[in-house]
Amino acid sequence: MPKLVKKRSKKTGLPAGSNIHTGEKKTKNVKITRINYDEVKYQEREIKKIEKCFPFKDKPAVTWLNINGIHDAEIIEKIGEYVGLHPLLLKDIMNTDHRPKIEDFGDYIFIILKMIYYNEKKNKIEIEQVSLILGLNFVISFQEREGDVFNSIRERIKKGKGKMRKSGADYLAYSLIDAIVDSHFLILEGTGEKIEKMEEKLIANPTPNTLQGIHNLKRDMIFLRKSVWPLREVISCLERTESSLIEESTGIYLRDVYEHSIQVIDTIETFREMISGMVDIYLSSISNKMNEVMKVLTIIATIFIPLTFITGVYGMNFAYMPELKWHWGYFAALFIMAVVGVFMLIYFRKKKWL
C-alpha cells in the first residue's frame, strides 16, 4: 500500500521555483540511457554526463532519453535549459507526488503519469511517477528508479518490428503511455484473482483476517482509482490536442489507449462494487456463525435448567415429602426428567432451532 500523503513539508513555504526533490529517494545513482533510431539505424548508449548527449534536437533521427532517478537537480536543470523547459516543470518532475497532468507548450508537450506494478518482494502495489517530454523528434522520460514496463518497447525498437522504427517521436510517446496503461491490467488481473479467492474463503471459512484482506483490496482500489481517473483525462486531452507534434495517423492509437483507460476505470468500479458486497457477506456470515454457536449452547443450557429444578425439588429436606418414601420414586423422577428433556428436544426440532 502506498504512503497516504508524501511529506511535502520540505517544500512547503519555499520559493516557488526552487527545485528540491520531494518524495522518497528511490535510487542512488542517476542512470541516463539514450536510444537513437530511424528506419535504418539503431543505437543504445548509457551516458555518464548529460551534456554528452546534446545536441539531439536538430538531428533527423528519433532520440529517446531515459533518466532513472530524479533527485539530482543539476541533471534535470541542464536538460531543462537545453530543451527550454519552463522552470515550474523542473519542480513538477522532481515532486513525485504530482497528479497526472498534460501541458502543451507548443514546442514540446509535458506529461506526468503514474506507472504501476506489483512488488513481489514487498507484496504490495508500487506506484512510480513517470514524466515525459515529447518534442518534435525526441522523447525524454524521467523515472524514479531503475526497472520499468518499457522493456518490450526497447525490444521492438531494437528489432525494428512493427510501425515503431518507421514512425516519429509521437508514436514512441504513445507506446510508452500504452505500456503504462497496460501495466494496470496486470494489476487488475491479480486483483481479480484475489477477489475470487477471497469469495471462496468467505463462503468456506470467514475469519477476521478475511475482513482485513477485503479492507486491503478496498484500499488498493481507492488508490488505483485516484491515479487512473487523471490518467484518463491526460490521454483524452492528448487525443484531442491539436498540437503539430502529434501526427494525424497516431490519433487512432491514442483513441485505442483511451478506450483501454476507460476499461481500467470500468473494471476498478466493478471491483469496488464487488468488494463492498463482500463486506456485507462477511458480516452476515460471521454473525450467522456466532448465532449458530449461541443457539446450540443455549439449547443445551435450557434443557438442563428445568431438569436441575426437578432435582432441586427432591433435594429439599422437608420432613414430609411422600414421593421420597416411594420405592420407585427415584426412577420415576429420572423418568420424568427424561420425558421433559426429550419433549424439549422435540419442541426445538419442531421449531427448527436444531
Question: Which residues 258-297 are close enough to bind a copy of itself by CB under 8 A?
Answer: 259, 262-263, 266-267, 270-271, 273-274, 277, 279-288, 290-291, 293-295, 297
Binding-site size, a copy of itself (CB under 8 A): 120
Residues 92, 128, 148, 220: which binds a copy of itself (CB under 8 A)? 92
Choose among 20, 185, 37, 15: nearest CA to 97: 20
Q: Is 77 in the site for a copy of itself (CB under 8 A)?
A: no
Torsion of CA 237, 242, 248, 254, to 10 degrees: 0
What is residue 100's DSSP assignment?
P
Kindly identify the residues of this chain, within the stretch 326-345, that bind a copy of itself according to CB under 8 A. 326-330, 333-334, 337
The distance of closest approach from Cβ of residue 47 to a copy of itself in the complex, given in angstroms and rounded to an integer, is 26
Q: Is 51 in the site for a copy of itself (CB under 8 A)?
A: no
The distance of closest approach from Cβ of residue 283 to a copy of itself in the complex, given in angstroms and rounded to an integer, is 6
Residues 151, 336, 339, 349: which binds a copy of itself (CB under 8 A)? 151
Q: Is 166 in the site for a copy of itself (CB under 8 A)?
A: no
CB of 207 or CB of 244, closer to a copy of itself: 207
The distance of closest approach from Cβ of residue 101 to a copy of itself in the complex, given in angstroms and rounded to an integer, is 6
Three-state SS for 140-201 is EEEECCCCCCCHHHHHHHHHCCCCHHHCCHHHHHHHHHHHHHHHHHHHHHHHHHHHHHHHHH
Cα 31–chain centre separation: 27
Kindly identify the residues of this chain, within the stretch 186-215, that bind a copy of itself according to CB under 8 A. 186, 188-189, 191-193, 195-196, 203, 208, 211-212, 215
Residues 31, 156, 158, 232: which binds a copy of itself (CB under 8 A)? 156
- As a whole number of angstroms, the distance between CA 272 and CA 222 comes to 8
Q: Is 149 in the site for a copy of itself (CB under 8 A)?
A: yes
Q: Is 314 in the site for a copy of itself (CB under 8 A)?
A: yes
Residues 38, 77, 126, 256: which binds a copy of itself (CB under 8 A)? 256
Residues 31, 158, 219, 232: which binds a copy of itself (CB under 8 A)? 219
In three-state secondary structure terms, 37 is strand
Q: Is 12 in the site for a copy of itself (CB under 8 A)?
A: yes
Q: Is 158 in the site for a copy of itself (CB under 8 A)?
A: no
CB of 55 or CB of 315, closer to a copy of itself: 315
Three-state SS for 5-29 is CCCCCCCCCCCCCCCCCECCCCCCC
The distance of closest approach from Cβ of residue 178 to a copy of itself in the complex, given in angstroms and rounded to an integer, is 6
Tally the residues of the chain. 354
Q: Is 61 in the site for a copy of itself (CB under 8 A)?
A: no
User: Three cell numbers at 94?
Assistant: 522532481
Stretch of 34-42, 135-143, 240-248, 313-321 lying at the interface with a copy of itself (CB under 8 A): 313-321
Residues 306, 345, 346, 349: which binds a copy of itself (CB under 8 A)? 306
C-beta atoms surrounding 242 within 10 Å? 6
In three-state secondary structure terms, 341 is helix
Three-state SS for 260-319 is HHHHHHHHHHHHHHHHHHHHHHHHHHHHHHHHHHHHHHHHHHHHHHHHHHHHHHCCCCCC
CA angle (232, 183, 263) in 5-degree steps: 45
| Distant-in-sequence, close-in-space partners of 41: CB < 8 Å, separation ≥ 6 | 61
Residues 45, 323, 343, 345: which binds a copy of itself (CB under 8 A)? 323
Kindly identify the residues of this chain, within the stretch 233-252, that bind a copy of itself according to CB under 8 A. 252
Q: Is 183 in the site for a copy of itself (CB under 8 A)?
A: yes
CB of 47 or CB of 329, closer to a copy of itself: 329
User: Three cell numbers at 288?
Assistant: 450467522
Q: Is 39 in the site for a copy of itself (CB under 8 A)?
A: no
